[in-house]
Amino acid sequence: MTDTSPNLARLGDAARDFIARGRGLFIDGEWRQRDAQIEVFDPATAKRVTSVPRGNAADVDLAVAAARRAFDEGPWAKMTPADRGKLVWRLGDLVERHADELAELEAIDNGKPVTDARWGDVAFSHELLRYMAGWSTKLTGETIPLSQPAPFHAYTLREPVGVCAQIVPWNFSFMMAIWKVAPALATGCTIVLKPAEQTPLTALRLAELVEEAGFPNGVFNVVTGLGEEAGAALAAHDDVDKVAFTGSTEVGKKILEAAKGNLKKVSLELGGKSPMILFADADLDVAIPAIASGIFYNMGQTCTAGSRLYVEDSIADAVHEALAEHAQGLRIGPGLDPATQIGPLVSAEQQAKVLGYIQSGVGDGARLLCGGRHHGDDGYFVEPTILADTAPHMAVVKEEIFGPVLVSATFADGDVASAVREANDSIYGLAASVFTQDIDKAHAVAKRIKAGTVGINTHHVIDPALPFGGFGQSGWGREMGWSAIELYTELKSIGVALKR
Ligand code: ADP
């Protein structure tokens, strides 16, 4: 396991130079090295890429103190909204300028196809930075006509919430960081970012770009480290005003517990088990690729993954055949090969977990339509897998697998109510989709589905301007759009006593 990954040779010069720089923690505008390190592996080969510091609670204290100073006293606190917005926009420009390099780093760190990283993760990120930059100058309060007879002139101010801890997962490491960093910077907050231990590289490259853009010291800090160490210290820290977390529902509950000491604000973007309902009147030329991408994009390691399919009985056999054919046609390979459509999963642990779920599904009586095995001798690959004839009690139907595994069940022809009931039978409620050409049915079903985002004749619906978040145990709060600005601001009411 200590050999260096041969895929390092596939990186461009810029990405290789970044790795060679051996960056440490980024605190108060300085790079700090630590003896304790975490190894970073290439999931396509299970071989070493580099190592990064294993930041601990003392490092979190330093980073939070730097963020506090920058928030309370530094030039950031006095900066005009227009100048702040220009900095955020400049960061967006830098992300775009270095997009190929960032995509390569993401591909070797997480395993995902570099083409998806470039045109999905990174492209979305620079557009989100620009979108949020525009809000900087529009954080207005209101003047409020009062209901009581007191002679007040009253108005509200919208102010940044303060020091924000941002704890992000490994599945879209860079993009999840930007989902949180962009609105926090736009509103004038300061940040301590903790990337996932599996995928720390792009957060460190982001810190370099923040430096290059010219943000004042302490506004943005990165502490790499373990979840239960650096992450837990951040979530519990008394001088952190808000914690924003994306990850598993299980860890989300721990964040909540840790955050209660100082009642810091909490936003959570957690797991999902998103249903896709396919009616017999759907256009299958649209639905089949959308459903396949709904589950297999990012190897199913997507919180919104369309992991449960409910298909109307009369078309079930044809749909299963078409989906299996599509799945078997997907090209599996290392993320750094531009032709790859399915890369490895992020880790050996994740691979074992996903293969275990597939076995449990088959053991519970599901029918394996395709896939089901690991792929190749090296790395953490799992074949795109479809399990049919699944039933609501099965673990593969109830639990988030976070891998390329679609479970499928049928509903009786015309029984819309049962399709909706099955789709809503989950503790989660992040995303869903409905496939039909009947416009009335499409909107009626979309309205009855319990999920934060519903796609009609598509599955993954995300946009910088569109609120994103979950019902039920999929989380608290909405990221992106104006909703994200609300997450990172406090409203203050001011009343002026008038002498008449
Ligand atoms: P996954 O289960 O998919 O690895 P997690 O929810 O465990 O995702 O991790 C998401 C992020 O939460 C990572 O940055 C991880 O380090 C962090 N994390 C894990 N455990 C804790 C914890 N107890 N407190 C704070 N952060 C944590």
- Rounded to two decimals, what is the model's pTM? 0.97
Separation of CA 249 and ligand 1 centre (Å): 10
Per-residue pLDDT of 253-274, as tens digits, reads: 999 999 999 999 999 999 999 9
166 CB neighbour count, 10 Å cutoff: 26
Separation of CA 402 and ligand 1 centre (Å): 14
CB contact at 8 A, 201 and 40: yes
Annotation marks residue 303 as catalytic: yes
Per-residue pLDDT of 220-242, as tens digits, reads: 999 999 999 999 999 999 999 99
How far apart are the two ends of the chain, measured CA to CA in Å?
78
Predicted pLDDT at 148: 87
Predicted pLDDT at 202: 98
Predicted pLDDT at 2: 62
CA dist 29 and 25 (Å) reads 10
Separation of CA 455 and ligand 1 centre (Å): 28
Taking the CA atoms of the chain, what radius of gyration do you get in angstroms?
23
Per-residue pLDDT of 370-404, as tens digits, reads: 999 999 989 999 999 999 999 999 999 999 999 99
CA dist 98 and 48 (Å) reads 24
Q: Nearest C-alpha to atom 20 of ligand 1 is from which residue?
A: 227
* Alpha-carbon distances, residue 308 vs 250, 398, 401, 436 (angstroms): 21, 9, 11, 17
Give the type of residue at 448. R
Q: 115: burial class by Cβ within 10 Å (0-12, 13-18, 19+)?
A: middle
Q: Which of 251, 256, 270, 402 to mutate to test the pocket of ligand 1 (most atoms within 8 A of CB)?
A: 251
Residues of the chain with pLDDT under 50: 1
Annotation marks residue 197 as catalytic: no
Predicted pLDDT at 92: 98
User: Which residue's structure tokens are 């070493």?
Assistant: 48
- Both structure tokens of 282: 């759907």
- Both structure tokens of 140: 């207005």
Provide residues with CB under 6 Å of ligand 1.
167-169, 194, 196-197, 227-228, 231-232, 235, 247-248, 251, 254-255
The candidate with the shortest Cα–Cα distance to 74, out of 188, 177, 186, is 188
Q: Which of 104, 303, 422, 479 is catalytic?
A: 303
Predicted pLDDT at 1: 46
Predicted pLDDT at 150: 78
